[in-house]
Amino acid sequence: MSAVFLFLAAFLASAVEMVEALTIVLAVGVTRGWRSALAGVGVATVMLAVIIAGLGPALHRVPIDALRLVVGFLLLAFGLQWLRKAILRASGFKALHDEDEIFLQEREEARHAARDVRLGIDWYSFVLCFKGVLLEGLEVAFIVITFGSTQGDVPLAAAAAGAALVLVAAVGAVVRAPLSRVPENTLKFTVGIMLTTFGIFWASEGTGVSWPGGELALLGVLAFVALSSLALVRLLRRQHARLLPLGAHR
Amino acid sequence: MRRVKAFGRFWWEFILGDDWRIAAGLAVALGLCALLVHEDLAAWWLLPLAVLGLLAESLRRATRGSD
């Protein structure tokens, strides 16, 4: 059961981050050409591979309880950030993430940036794509390494991230436009719930807690986190509606 | 020095995000969990409730300015 959870959580989290990286790469590629943009993507990918290859095996040497405590804490801190933002967006307190608008903004900036060519590479395109892919990729790497090592199945988590990469890259190559139809906030909400669930489960185990029902307790924690989050969205939506001027309801 | 600061800021944003109080509250909750386990008491209920409380409080703070 936790293998399915593991795959789904790693897949969804990776897909969301990759959609964000794709928006940057597309904006730069479409406006300034693909050569330098793809060079930036390539170098960032190699750097990410080096980071994963270096960190992954090192984690095997850490005792499992200490690893679960640290990883659980990090996942909770990370997952609650996603969940908090997703709840604020779903309730109207924060603007929804708009890939179309980000794409247009990035494209406009890319169009007006000066061309600085070094070694045949347009430096602006290279650096922007490198940074975008490396930063979003680091989040993917963090999720793959933490999920995989704590569950003892890094290859499964890596396969989920690989599947997300293939899917997002294929769709990006076909449409050559930002993936604005991806319900990004719903995905982030789901991922936030999953990261928080795993975080609660593992961090508790790391302190020595025994869950009633063993791994089945994951389902209980998942239901608790999901229902509580939905209840918070409802509460905040009501609060937000009260704040709107009367005319906005008509 | 500027790069070290930027590196530190990156990890702070990456892990703690907009509200450092959540991470601080989590650390306290985990300490209490370990204490209960040490005293041979059931502690599985503590972290889910602490997480809900911390999230609700953080959201309350984030939306308070809108009141």
Full DSSP string of chain B: -HHHHHHHHHHHHHHTTT-HHHHHHHHHHHHHHHHHHHTT---TTHHHHHHHHHHHHHHHHHHHTT-
ipTM summary value? 0.88
Chain segment A77-122, per-residue pLDDT in tens: 888 988 999 999 988 888 766 666 777 777 777 676 666 667 777 8
pLDDT in the model for residue A249: 46
- Asked if the structure places residue A102 within a domain, the reply is yes
Residue A53 lies in a domain: yes
CB-neighbour burial class of residue A102 (10 A; exposed 0-12, middle 13-18, buried 19+): middle
Please report whether residue A64 resides in a domain: yes
Q: Does the residue A137 lie in any domain?
A: yes
* pLDDT of B35: 95
Q: Which of A51, A145, A209, A219 is the mutation pick for testing B, counting most B CBs within 10 A?
A: A209
Q: Where are the beta strands (DSSP E) in chain A?
A: 117-118, 121-122
Q: Distance between CA atoms of A73 and A77, rounded to whole angstroms?
A: 6
Contact list in A for residue B44 (CB cut-off 8 A) is 204, 209-212, 217
Per-residue pLDDT for B60 more than 90? Answer: yes
User: How far A211 CA lies from chain B's nearest CA (Å)?
Assistant: 6
pTM for this model (two decimals): 0.73
- Is A179 inside any structural domain? yes
**Do the Cβ atoms of A198 and A75 come closer than 8 Å?**
yes
Interface check for A236 against chain B (CB to CB < 8 A): the answer is: yes
The reply to whether A156 falls in a domain is yes
DSSP secondary structure letter of residue A176:
-
CA distance A175 to chain B (A): 31
pLDDT value for A177: 62
User: Which pLDDT does position B40 carry in this prediction?
Assistant: 92
Surface of A (205-234) touching B: CB under 8 A? 206-212, 217, 221, 224-225, 228-229, 232
Query: pLDDT value at position A96?
Result: 67
Residues of A in contact with B64 (CB under 8 A): none
Low-confidence ranges of chain A (pLDDT < 50): 247, 249-250
Tell me whether residue A212 is in a domain: yes
What pLDDT score was predicted for residue A78?
Answer: 83
d(CA A248, CA A111): 38
Number of domains in chain A: 1
Q: What confidence score (pLDDT) does residue A3 get? A: 79
Which residues in chain B have Cβ-Cβ distances shorter than 8 Å to A221?
Answer: 48
| Domain span including residue A56 | 2-243
Q: Is residue A250 part of a domain?
A: no
